[in-house]
């Protein structure tokens, strides 16, 4: 990594917050100053055969309940999560030489939460959610454009409701890794795992 002018900030167990959610927020606040789209995050799922499958999504919710993204429940990731409701998230902040790995169980967010987010989206995105059968084969771009026009006609003059096959997932973490780039590949890695009293253990791991 060669981002000019950046000094890596060492990870020090003594100054890391005991709560990984709080620590994530600290890194988030620093990332938003240097990254154009910090919401971009990789989510990896696996079907019941164990085949992993990764793709980027946008992180749309973060709080002590977990980390949320929105998608089509009938997509490939939706099918994976139906069979195996677990995921790993990977967030990379190149200018700061940082990555965060999160692993956890996955649940659908409430329909009300999905409605609130869906209603906040631009109309074109809402129409797209109706028109696109995400992850399914389509014969041509023209077929997709026809489906978009059909949805536009259907909702002309009115609001676009959230389709039932579209909504949010929440990853409920049981593991975090905070990774900081250091010179000579001697990176800092600190893992958080739950302790017996409802808090979190912190352990340094080798790079």
Active site residues: 185
Residue 43 structure tokens: 């989510």
Burial class (CB in 10 A: 0-12, 13-18, 19+), 89: buried
CA distances from 67 to 8, 22, 31, 33, 108 (A): 26, 13, 17, 20, 11
144 is an interface residue for ligand FMN by CB under 6 A: no
Cβ neighbours of 46 (radius 10 Å): 17
Applying CB under 6 A, the span of 65-73, 81-89, 107-115, 136-144 interacting with ligand FMN comes to 65-73
46 is an interface residue for ligand FMN by CB under 6 A: no
Among 32, 34, 58, 105, binds ligand FMN (CB under 6 A): 58
What's 121's DSSP letter?
Answer: S
Binding-site size for ligand FMN (CB under 6 A) equals 15
Length of the chain: 207
* Minimum CB distance to ligand FMN smaller for 162 or for 202: 162
* Minimum CB distance to ligand FMN smaller for 118 or for 192: 118
Q: How far is the CB of 66 from ligand FMN (least distance, A)?
A: 16
CA distances from 20 to 44, 63, 102, 181 (A): 20, 11, 10, 18
76 is an interface residue for ligand FMN by CB under 6 A: yes
69 is an interface residue for ligand FMN by CB under 6 A: yes
Residues engaged in binding ligand FMN (CB under 6 A) = 40, 53, 55-58, 69-72, 75-77, 134-135
């Amino acid at each position: 990594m060669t981002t000019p002018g950046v000094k890596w900030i060492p990870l020090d167990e003594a100054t890391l917050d005991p709560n990984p959610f709080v620590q994530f927020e600290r890194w988030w606040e620093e990332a938003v100053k240097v990254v154009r789209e910090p919401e971009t995050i990789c989510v990896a799922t696996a079907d019941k055969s164990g085949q992993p499958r990764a793709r980027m999504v946008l992180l749309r919710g973060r709080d002590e309940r977990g980390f949320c993204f929105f998608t089509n429940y009938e997509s490939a990731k939706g099918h994976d999560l139906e069979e195996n409701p677990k995921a790993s998230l990977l967030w990379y902040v190149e200018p700061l030489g940082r990555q965060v790995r999160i692993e956890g169980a996955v649940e659908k967010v409430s329909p009300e939460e999905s409605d609130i987010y869906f209603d906040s989206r631009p109309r074109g995105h809402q129409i797209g959610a109706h028109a696109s059968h995400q992850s399914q084969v389509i014969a041509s771009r023209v077929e997709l454009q026809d489906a978009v026009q059909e949805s536009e006609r259907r909702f002309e003059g009115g609001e676009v409701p959230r389709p039932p096959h579209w909504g949010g997932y929440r990853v409920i973490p049981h593991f975090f890794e905070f990774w900081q780039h250091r010179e000579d590949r001697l990176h800092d890695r600190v893992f958080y795992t739950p302790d017996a009293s409802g808090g979190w253990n912190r352990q340094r791991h080798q790079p």
